[in-house]
Structure 1
Amino acid sequence: MEPVAGVMWALCHSVAGIELITTASPGALPPTKMSPPVYADLGKASRDVFGKGYHFGLLKLECKSKTKTGVEITAGGSNALESGKVAGNLETKYKVKEHGLTFTEKWNTDNTLNTEVALEDKVAKGLKLVLNTTFAPQSGKKSGVLKSTYKTDALSVNLDSTLDLGGPVVNGAGVASYKNWLIGYQMSFDTAKSKLTRNNFAVGFTNPDFILHTYANDGAEFGGSLFHKINPDLEGAVDLAWSAGSNTTRFSIGCKYSLDKDAALRAKVNNSSQVGLGYQQKVRDGITLTLSTLIDGKNFNQGGHKVGLAMELEA
């Protein structure tokens, strides 16, 4: 646990040092003028530290390829070791750059077909429109969502609506930036019930190697995350959440260390004494292997630990 303790010390040191919050560390890239992230991407850097590179309880295979005509094909499958359930998916994507169009089709072993058409920067600069439809042939169930995202240098706004004649659900969110600060709001309104079903706020601070994200969801769940690029090879993150309804607190700390350009180690631990470890190795160009395990520290001798193996192929 010494490496994890070292990461925790470095993260706490960065919070205590005002210079790290207000000034990028030596060698960091200078900030560039760009749109703030959409609400769903706030805190993404921290979530990636905890989520990417772990496949507990799964055997996973993913293959990516691109045809001469520009069609991107992604096929994948996974096997849940405990239940034995096998799931697969196939995705094709084609971009018509001169018209700003992207066509995406997805199919999975639950026999669900998903079609997405996106139009970007044609109606107006910074505006992206997406029509997403889902169809289940066996049940005949159909659904659709119309999405829109508009970005400027200081503002990102998205508005989505389900295509339901009985009463669509409207989702909206916006993120505004001022210098290194971000403030966001997210809502969901059920027109059939004339009721606001989601009411979330978020505040964040970001610079090239330090990202702080805090949120309040429906006045019942509060939390935050901290991401720090300690050096070019080491990234660390802390995640904290508290639920008013159950009066429970969740705490996690994680890190990613790049051994070299082809290999990386990952580790994370939470207040439930669950320890996750991962190792990712680029075997050769187009082949990446990931091994991961989840150890239950409270029941170490009883077993029940999980392992995972994933292979990604790209041509």
Structure 2
Amino acid sequence: MPVVAFADIGKAAKGLLGGDKATGTFQFDPKLSVSSATSSGVTFSVSATQKADKVEPSLKAAYSTKKYSVDVASDAAGKVTVSASANDVAPGVKISTSAVVPDPSTAKLTIDYSMPYLALKGTFGLNATPVVDLAASTGYQSVVLGAETSYDTAKSALAKYNFAVGYHAADFQVAALLADQAKTLKLSYAHNLTSTSTVGAEISRKLASADTTFALAYARKLSNGALTKFKLDGAGTLSALYETKLASGEKVAGSLQLAATDLSKPVKYGFAVDLA
């Protein structure tokens, strides 16, 4: 089995605290999404998100097979992002490219290489002075080690370098990340208590100033198939999510956020409706 990629070290805690498909994502702006698929396999997704007094639309079309995929996405600013990928170009090799039309300077080429004990990823800007991103990870059984760096050829300098170590067991993950050019230490933990409930935590500490932040989260899938999640951070902000799928197929989610240490502050709330 291929080793865990650098970006996926501590993935369970990242998804629980930051949002993913398995544990849901907090949505504090009203959002409506409509998705459909054609008989040829092309999927279309249209969404509209209300922010303040503005509605920001977005559109995405995607087509994929086992070996190829093509995505075209347009956002509220009118930017059109085109991306494509090809799997198994060679054993363990995946190649992908992306660009924002019509700006050729945004074009990038990414090469992923994975094997049982090594995962490599390189992203190269396709312009005269590219930024080169490199990531590598290796491991044995449940232990994984990794590093990533970014080199800006225009400045002839490293733009970033991060290091990570993790332990990925069947029911829990522990990870440590040294980020921001070794200026920030992040420790994360996620544990599947049962087949339907997960807890997680992250502590982040600035090594120079000793500033520390933390976040705790708990997600549970109810007997009716609905998903609930709660998150509390070091500032006393409590967030709650309830997500369910209706009998007719629509997915509905509602989010609530309040300052648990100061209930006089206004409450934030939002919802998301996905019409499939």
1:132 corresponds, among 98, 114, 117, to 98
Aligned-pair CA distance for 1:295: 0.7
2:40 corresponds, among 47, 69, 89, to 69
1:201 corresponds, among 154, 157, 163, to 163
Aligned-pair CA distance for 1:250: 0.8
- Equivalent residues in 2 for 1:212-223, closer than 5 Å: 212-217=174-179, 218-223=181-186
Match of 2:206 in 1: 243
Matched to 1:223, the amino acid is: K
1:63 and 1:313 in contact (8 A); partners too: yes
From the two aligned structures, give the one with the greater helix fraction. Answer: 1
- Equivalent residues in 2 for 1:24-63, closer than 5 Å: 34-52=1-19, 53-63=24-34
Distance 1:154 1:284 in 2: 44
Match of 2:237 in 1: 274
Q: After superposition, give the CA deviation of every residue in 1:43-75 in whole Å (9 maximum; x if it has no partner).
A: 221122123334343001222221100111122
Residue correspondences, number: 271
Aligned Cα root-mean-square deviation (Å)? 1.6
2:258 corresponds, among 291, 295, 301, to 295
Higher mean C-alpha displacement, 210-219 vs 51-60:
51-60
Match of 2:55 in 1: 86
1:255 and 1:267 in contact (8 A); partners too: yes
Higher mean C-alpha displacement, 212-221 vs 237-246:
237-246
Q: 1:116 to 1:141 in 2, by over 3 A?
A: closer
- 2:98 aligns to what SS in structure 1? strand
2:145 corresponds, among 168, 183, 189, to 183
Output the TM-score relative to the length of structure 1.
0.82
Identity of aligned residues (%): 23
Matched to 2:98, the amino acid is: N
Q: 1:85 to 1:41 in 2, by over 3 A?
A: farther
Higher mean C-alpha displacement, 200-209 vs 253-262:
253-262
Output the TM-score relative to the length of structure 2.
0.93
Q: Confirm whether residue 109 of structure 1 aligns to residue 76 of structure 2.
A: yes
1:55 and 1:310 in contact (8 A); partners too: no
Q: Confirm whether residue 224 of structure 1 aligns to residue 187 of structure 2.
A: yes
Matched to 2:144, the amino acid is: L
1:54 and 1:308 in contact (8 A); partners too: no
Distance 1:70 1:61 in 2: 23
Q: Confirm whether residue 233 of structure 1 aligns to residue 196 of structure 2.
A: yes
Distance 1:69 1:290 in 2: 30
Matched to 1:180, the amino acid is: S
Higher mean C-alpha displacement, 140-149 vs 261-270:
140-149
Matched to 1:61, the amino acid is: L
- 1:298 aligns to what SS in structure 2? coil
Matched to 1:242, the amino acid is: R
Q: Which consecutive residues of structure 1, in runs of 5 or more, have no partner in the other structure?
A: 1-33
Distance 2:104 2:92 in 1: 33
1:158 corresponds, among 121, 126, 132, to 121
